[in-house]
Structure 1
């Protein structure tokens, strides 16, 4: 719409403004007409590309050119350029500078008519010249609306970028969770199965078939346990709710610590994520106990308090030689990550006193 109006003012001015020619006063009017067209069409220049000082100079020059066009012509619609330039001033400049330039435009145009500088408009009162600055208010409103729209668009784009970043963070968090589950299910289970199969292979050379069968049975038992763990992982990924006490009991039963669980407090259903992470922490602690302290007694305590669920696993010192091996180093890191995601706390370290001195303890506290 703005472009249509600008072009219309130029076309109408080209046909009505007189004198206009290639010599004398007509040439001066033609030059002023061209200057006013350029100043008015310069509205299309992007605001960020034109320094404010340059805009003040060119628009101030436009006010002078508009007043000079009014003074130099004796007929036509040359005064419309002053109105449009004043509107552009309000659109382009801050309020204080815009009002100052608009006042200058009014004074110059009104003075040109009042003092009859040049032929002027015989039928146009000088008060009309004073009104040429009024469109600055319209320009200020339009500029304010445009800036508000741009700010809203920028805010929407910023919110969209934030949403994309949050989505990427959620994907990375989920990847981390799945990586921990894969570590827990595969690294521990397959390492244990591999140890038993290597033991069975070594025992074949001794001819002790009973021990070979025992190692083979242990490997089969670990395979079954791995399948259970895989089921827990699938349940967790589907956000299904697992019964914490029953699942923990089944885990201890499969590892040969059937009677080691003590439950205190009022048993209640906890969120699936809390159940899954507590089970994984328990599994990690039991696997480490079996690896580094074989034959050691294990005590597991699950406590339900008013505002938290606590899981404690303690094991004594080893009663037989541990099998040499190097862990992945990710177990304790994974436990800390799990608890941190649920805004809980975890402590893990050696036991330095009491009947279990020389053993290890892990205690996780998760709110809710």
Structure 2
């Protein structure tokens, strides 16, 4: 490469760098973007009120200084002062145009005073006292809302213009304010940048906290749904096993079954076995404990891997275990009891179980009442408790008992309501719709469930973590 080529390449790079610098400066400072000052946390319009009062003081003080001491006409001095004060108010919404206006007001005022300045009086120049205060406000409001680079560019251009006016142009018999002004401007810009960084850090922290809470809620929801899926798997797997066994036994119950019947029953059995295999494969994934994987929680529900899922037939044992824990519980049933779908039985049992567990944790000394209402279109479950007589112990945990109950009700297209009662107690009310035949009652009569069901001593597991009972 020749020396001429090197000079040409270096000149092109410098020209490109100059164009980039100029384009960046133009994009940053040649804009009329609206950027309103946010309201105060304590008193909403406090910052705006302070700026308006300061602008009024700058208007009166600058007009008097320019007119009485600067030798300008009253109308012209008022216009220059209006430029400084108007820049302060404009900076509340458009900080960059306000900075240009304040700088222009300084140049106009300095030029006008220089033209009429005599040797008999030393005037503060090029920045008047009121103009200096106005530009400090403008730079502070600018630094609070724009990027650091833009604030430093505005500070640099302000210092450059001040140096050119005072150092290169100059005037006769004046008190220089350029050095003091630049130092104060730098202090104000640094303060504004620091406050803006603190505000952005607090905003980011609040956003991160919100995201963390949302992620925790999402993880809790997934855990609850996984637990519900594991329990429902046991119910479905039981019925699939029954279908397979019935399809295998059916040909032996008929004399001389046809080949078509045998083939169809064999197909039913194979499909049931295949579905059962797939269910067990899914269950293996859901029940696998992965404590070393981030974001996962081991199953600590206490349920054996192949334990039968509870139904309302075990409600008596649940109530007896709760009474043994020190809680007074009464059970009522209304309506004609009938056979319910397994999902409804399981969900109703778990809702009662979780509600009673919440009473034990959050309402010590209270009494609870479980009310089951058998309706033609579904089952209503109400669990209420009275006001606690003792202060509950602090509970720690994820707090997703109500979430699990709501998920169970929503899974069945039902609804759940949890609310505090006027007397200080608490109510959990769920409606679980059914599609069964309302005219098919069971052999049991609708009397107290505690006497309707054998009171065996099987210990129930709660699967719950402590929670805030506020819905």
| TM, length-normalised to structure 2 | 0.37
**Structure whose CA Rg is larger:** 1
| TM, length-normalised to structure 1 | 0.46
Greater relative CO (CA pairs within 8 A, separation 6+) = 2
